[in-house]
Structure 1
Amino acid sequence: MANSLNIVPAVPSARAPRGIVLLGDPNQPGTRVPWVDWEVEQNVWHSASTFRMRLPISALSDPINLNYILGTNPIQAQVYAGFPPNPDQYGTSDLQQLILGNVDSVNFDPSGRTVDISGRDYTSLLIDSKTFDRWANQTASQIATTLAKRHGLTPQVTPTTGLVGKIYEIDKIHDRHGTTEWELLTWLAGVYDYVVYIQGMTLYFGPKPDPKTATPYLIQWQNPDQNSAFFQANVLDLGFSRTLTVGKGVIVQVHSFNHKQKAGFSVTYPQGKAKGITPGTAKAPAQVYSYIIANLSQQDAQERAAKIYNDIIRHELKMNANLPGDNILVPNVMVQVSGTQTPFDSLYYVESVARRMSFDGAYRMSVRGKNHSLDTSVIPS
């Protein structure tokens, strides 16, 4: 496949991955510290990314010594990884920052002579903060900008139209008063078919990748043929599973408010099954999927509900793979699997990418994905 983020088929080459861990005060650049191994998991848009690192006590020195790590709060952590031009002499400018965030927990192992540190990226600032603002007279993009600046983050926000108060009028299911700031932003992102995530010190709030136009990361599997008696792939291992939801019965509800027409409404699909269905009251075996999508006409909403329904009733496909580590595959790209000659040859939305580096296990990563968008909201029956 010519149009892919990664080179396929993979070209054999000598790899010299390197990593850097920085710790220190959040208002300072950070101090480089020795490490035994580390792991960074970059999660899908609605979750915080996380990190874990194991440090050798004997190699710690001032100013980031054992007492500093055990007795300081907050501690900011940064993890960098990549393939520097000179693997014997490199700095953070030669690598890519994988995560920036605060330490949540420290585990001291005096017998093993290590200290384990774990934490989350700066999504945690909004996850840990509740909002009691009503926001009725602001747009979603204005709210995202305000919350980003409130926590010292740089907003990279695509403007939206329409006041949030009008959306509250059609969303009778959820009370946003007293929710966390992150729950508010992820809800608004779902309404506008946006994604919201934090990378470094930047909050992104904008359109999600379009599977029709996005350049994918390609996972290529090759069965044995006349040229090779072995299975071949650009992954270390690859697995799939599927979930059947059609047997439970599926109902899709789309709620919208058209700001031009100044009218709110709801549609349900399939219409033949919709009689008497109200949010939160559907009983098993039906499973109700509810969406709030801004600025649709009645016809647009009906078409969107039908499309969502058709996506859901297909067998849900899940994919997981382990690969040599690189810095290309991230949650805001699509993964295309090809070559298995099964229905699992499909395009996948990435749920998470976990990277690990150690001196005995090299640089590895694992990825999980689904073949449909990850922002479905299910109303419990």
Structure 2
Amino acid sequence: MKAPRAILEVSGVNVRWQDILDIRLENTLYLAADSFDATLRNDLLLSDWFRKQQEVKIYFGYVENPQSWTKADLKHLFTGQIDGIKPEWSGKKIVRLIGRDYSSPLIDTEYSIAFENQTSSQIAGILSKKYGLKPVVTNTSAVADKELMANKKEWEVLQALADLEGFVCYVTKDKELYFGPRKETDEAVIAKLYNNGPGQVNCTLNFDDSAVGIVNKVTVRHWLGANKKLIEASTVNQSLLSAMGGQVKERIVYESKAKTVALAKEYAEKRLKEWSRNVVTAEGFCVLNSEMVAEKKVLCQGFGRFTGEYYLNQVTHSLAKSDGAKTEFNLTNLRPDDAEQYRQDLYDNNEKTM
């Protein structure tokens, strides 16, 4: 029978398996950093060796022989840095490490006015170089509107520019900053979750079909030309507004392609069509599945009218020697880029700051 295993590599050195008590790796949507939390034995004063900003790589998986296995048997899931070291001396001697991936410095840093008069791709390239990331950037031609970047962190700016260009932006475990169109492989189903009867259940899932977070009004804005003439248009889903007791749920979008009021109206109607749809969500867990990654697709079977394909918007892989390995996850029936209110809520409420 296969056994779950993990490797925690710090500055190129593997922490001994016998010193690992538990590891928890949280993989989220692009607006937030992936993060890890590991608890280790500290009998040999590992806490004296660890330092903030040390590079961390994490591998998860199952091995055929739990007594003889290597890194090649596992899947590389995370690369980042240590944010904090927390040794505890009462009772058992343990040390806890916390950290985030390489998007974290961009999340922590305010955007600089020095990057004005650049295209979206040029800004992505500049920020890649600033943080030692390999740029995987698709070229763009239009100069980015500085109003889009005001009072934002660098990562928020990159995400806003990606939305503007119809791109996605993320940092990979190989320390690449990807800024470009979504890949076709993102539409492939990477896991199947079953609820088909005795012996065929491989997960626990709870669904939620509600109107929480739905937008009933969208306003599109753009400042045009050197004089920054405001172009603005709004559209409202009247039936949804009535169903919500007249309470306006508005989202404001800055769109550089909205050169006229008519175009602004067109973009507003397009966004509202997506954001005013009811979103079905779910949360659950299964045995450790290292293939499950945020924004990828899973197929849920045997759940009545809720059977179908869903997108992962948060995944947590954990391995604890006290209670085994599992994968916890949240799902949505709309791609999280389309259900943008969920992305923004995640960033606002769960931003990883250590």
Q: Normalising TM by the smaller chain, what interval?
A: 0.7 to 0.9
**Residue identity (%):** 24
| C-alpha distance in structure 2 between counterparts of 1:296 and 1:337, whole Å | 39
| Residue equivalent to 2:207 | 240
Once the two structures are superposed, the pairs formed by residues 116-265 of structure 1 within 5 Å of their partners are: 116-164=96-144, 167-168=145-146, 171=148, 175-176=150-151, 179-200=152-173, 201-208=175-182, 214-223=187-196, 230=198, 232-235=200-203, 237-244=204-211, 250-255=216-221, 265=231
Give the letter aligned to residue 56 of structure 1.
Answer: R
| Residue equivalent to 2:332 | 370
Cα offsets for 1:330-377 (capped at 9, x unmatched): 1131233333122x3344332211001122333211111222343536
Alignment of 1:48 onto 2:27? no
Give the letter aligned to residue 292 of structure 1.
Answer: Y
- Kept in 2, the 8 Å contact 1:251–1:288? The answer is yes
Once the two structures are superposed, the pairs formed by residues 332-351 of structure 1 within 5 Å of their partners are: 332-342=295-305, 344-351=306-313
Question: What residue ranges of structure 2 are gaps of 5+ in the alignment?
Answer: 240-245, 346-354
Deviation at 1:327, TM superposition (A): 2.1
Once the two structures are superposed, the pairs formed by residues 310-321 of structure 1 within 5 Å of their partners are: 310-321=273-284
- Kept in 2, the 8 Å contact 1:191–1:291? The answer is no
Deviation at 1:121, TM superposition (A): 1.1
Give the secondary-structure state (helix, strand or coil) at the position aligned to 1:148. Answer: helix
| C-alpha distance in structure 1 between counterparts of 2:137 and 2:64, whole Å | 34
Deviation at 1:134, TM superposition (A): 4.5
| Residue equivalent to 1:66 | 47
- Kept in 1, the 8 Å contact 2:191–2:291? The answer is no
Please say which of residues 286-295 and 318-327 is displaced more in the overlay: 286-295
Bigger Rg over Cα? 1
| Residue equivalent to 2:58 | 79
TM-score under structure 2 length normalisation: 0.79
| C-alpha distance in structure 2 between counterparts of 1:130 and 1:271, whole Å | 35
| Residue equivalent to 1:10 | none
| C-alpha distance in structure 2 between counterparts of 1:264 and 1:232, whole Å | 58
Give the letter aligned to residue 83 of structure 1.
Answer: Y
- Kept in 1, the 8 Å contact 2:194–2:201? The answer is yes
| Residue equivalent to 1:22 | 9
- Kept in 2, the 8 Å contact 1:20–1:79? The answer is yes
Alignment of 1:354 onto 2:316? yes
| C-alpha distance in structure 1 between counterparts of 2:303 and 2:223, whole Å | 43
Q: 1:325 to 1:272 in 2, by over 3 A?
A: closer
| Residue equivalent to 2:352 | none
Deviation at 1:218, TM superposition (A): 4.3
Alignment of 1:95 onto 2:77? no
Deviation at 1:264, TM superposition (A): 7.8
- Kept in 1, the 8 Å contact 2:216–2:237? The answer is no
Q: 1:79 to 1:175 in 2, by over 3 A?
A: same
Deviation at 1:96, TM superposition (A): 2.2
Q: 1:223 to 1:85 in 2, by over 3 A?
A: closer
Give the secondary-structure state (helix, strand or coil) at the position aligned to 1:118. Answer: strand
Deviation at 1:295, TM superposition (A): 3.8
Cα offsets for 1:162-207 (capped at 9, x unmatched): 111xx336x5xx624xx32112112212222322221221112222
Give the secondary-structure state (helix, strand or coil) at the position aligned to 2:116. Answer: coil
- Kept in 2, the 8 Å contact 1:320–1:369? The answer is yes
| C-alpha distance in structure 2 between counterparts of 1:81 and 1:245, whole Å | 34
| C-alpha distance in structure 1 between counterparts of 2:133 and 2:209, whole Å | 39
Report the count of equivalent residues: 328
Deviation at 1:157, TM superposition (A): 1.5
Give the secondary-structure state (helix, strand or coil) at the position aligned to 2:299. Answer: strand
Deviation at 1:141, TM superposition (A): 1.1
Give the secondary-structure state (helix, strand or coil) at the position aligned to 1:331. Answer: coil
Deviation at 1:253, TM superposition (A): 2.4
- Kept in 1, the 8 Å contact 2:295–2:335? The answer is no
| C-alpha distance in structure 2 between counterparts of 1:308 and 1:337, whole Å | 27
| C-alpha distance in structure 1 between counterparts of 2:248 and 2:209, whole Å | 19
Give the letter aligned to residue 146 of structure 2.
Answer: Y
Give the secondary-structure state (helix, strand or coil) at the position aligned to 1:233. Answer: coil
- Kept in 1, the 8 Å contact 2:31–2:159? The answer is yes
Q: 1:217 to 1:305 in 2, by over 3 A?
A: farther
